Amino acid sequence: MEPSDSAHPGPGRAVWTLAPRLLLLPLLPVLLGRGLRLGAAASSSGAAAKDSSAMEELATEKEAEESHRQDSVSLLTFILLLTLTILTIWLFKHRRVRFLHETGLAMIYGLIVGVILRYGTPATSGHDKSLSCTQEDRAFSTLLVNVSGKFFEYTLKGEISPGKINNVEQNDMLRKVTFDPEVFFNILLPPIIFHAGYSLKKRHFFRNLGSILAYAFFGTAVSCFIIGNLMYGVVKLMKIVGQLSDKFYYTDCLFFGAIISATDPVTVLAIFNELHADVDLYALLFGESVLNDAVAIVLSSSIVAYQPAGLNTHAFDAAAFFKSVGIFLGIFSGSFTMGAVTGVVTALVTKFTKLHCFPLLETALFFLMSWSTFLLAEACGFTGVVAVLFCGITQAHYTYNNLSVESRSRSKQLFEVLHFLAENFIFSYMGLALFTFQKHVFSPIFIIGAFVAIFLGRAAHIYPLSFFLNLGRRHKIGWNFQHMMMFSGLRGAMAFALAIRDTASYARQMMFTTTLLIVFFTVWVIGGGTTPMLSWLNIRVGVEELSEEDQNEHRWQYFRVGVDPDQDPPPNNDSFQVLQGDGLDSAGGSRTKQESAWIFRLWYGFDHNYLKPILTHSGPPLTTTLPAWCGLLARCLTSPQVYDNQEPLREDDSDFILTEGDLTLTYGDSTVTANGSSSSYTASTSLEGGRRTKSSSEEVFERDLGMGDHKVSSRGTRLVFPLQENA
CA–CA gap between residue 341 and residue 386 (Å, rounded): 13
Question: Which residues inside 134-153 make contact with its own copies, applying CB under 8 A?
Answer: 134-148, 150-153
Q: Which of 309, 316, 322, 381 binds its own copies (CB under 8 A)?
A: 381
CA distances from 63 to 57, 70, 226, 235 (A): 10, 11, 52, 46
Q: Which of 30, 341, 348, 700 binds its own copies (CB under 8 A)?
A: 30
Using CA atoms of 470, 269, 519, 314 in order, give the dihedral in degrees to the nearest 10.
-40
Q: Which of 5, 545, 574, 647 binds its own copies (CB under 8 A)?
A: 5
Strand pairing of 717-720 and 711-714? antiparallel
Question: Which residues inside 77-136 make contact with its own copies, applying CB under 8 A?
Answer: 79-80, 82-83, 86-87, 89-90, 93-94, 129-136
Question: Which residues inside 304-323 make contact with its own copies, applying CB under 8 A?
Answer: 304-307, 311, 313
Least distance in Å: CB of 94 to its own copies? 6
Of 151 and 629, which CB lies nearer to its own copies in the complex structure? 151
Under rule CB under 8 A, residue 43 binds its own copies: yes
Question: Which residues inside 670-699 make contact with its own copies, applying CB under 8 A?
Answer: 670-672, 675-676, 678
Under rule CB under 8 A, residue 330 binds its own copies: no
CA–CA gap between residue 344 and residue 395 (Å, rounded): 8
Under rule CB under 8 A, residue 704 binds its own copies: no
Instruction: Please return the burial class of 663, using the count of CB atoms within 10 Å of its CB with bins 0-12, 13-18 and 19+.
Output: middle
CB of 40 within 8 A of CB of 14? yes
Least distance in Å: CB of 713 to its own copies? 10
Of 260 and 465, which CB lies nearer to its own copies in the complex structure? 260
Least distance in Å: CB of 646 to its own copies? 23
Of 563 and 626, which CB lies nearer to its own copies in the complex structure? 563
Give, rounded to a whole angstrom, the gap between the first and last alpha carbons of the chain. Answer: 75
Question: Which residues inside 515-554 make contact with its own copies, applying CB under 8 A?
Answer: 548-549, 551-552
Burial 589-599 (b: 16+ CB within 10 A, else e): bbbebbbeeee
Least distance in Å: CB of 154 to its own copies? 4
Per-residue contact string for residues 386-425; x = within reach of its own copies by CB under 8 A: --x--------------------xx--xx-xxx-xx----
Under rule CB under 8 A, residue 63 binds its own copies: yes
Of 238 and 485, which CB lies nearer to its own copies in the complex structure? 238
Under rule CB under 8 A, residue 661 binds its own copies: yes
Instruction: Please return the burial class of 455, using the count of CB atoms within 10 Å of its CB with bins 0-12, 13-18 and 19+.
Output: middle
Under rule CB under 8 A, residue 506 binds its own copies: yes
Of 136 and 574, which CB lies nearer to its own copies in the complex structure? 136
Least distance in Å: CB of 379 to its own copies? 3
Instruction: Please return the burial class of 390, using the count of CB atoms within 10 Å of its CB with bins 0-12, 13-18 and 19+.
Output: buried
Helix (H) or strand (E) holding 680: none
Instruction: Please return the burial class of 144, using the count of CB atoms within 10 Å of its CB with bins 0-12, 13-18 and 19+.
Output: exposed
**Nearest Cα residue to 392 out of 607, 182, 201:** 201
How many residues touch its own copies (CB under 8 A)? 198
Question: Which residues inside 233-262 make contact with its own copies, applying CB under 8 A?
Answer: 245-247, 249, 251-252, 255
CA–CA gap between residue 11 and residue 493 (Å, rounded): 39
Least distance in Å: CB of 367 to its own copies? 7
Angle separating helix axes 444-472 and 506-521, nearest 10 degrees: 60
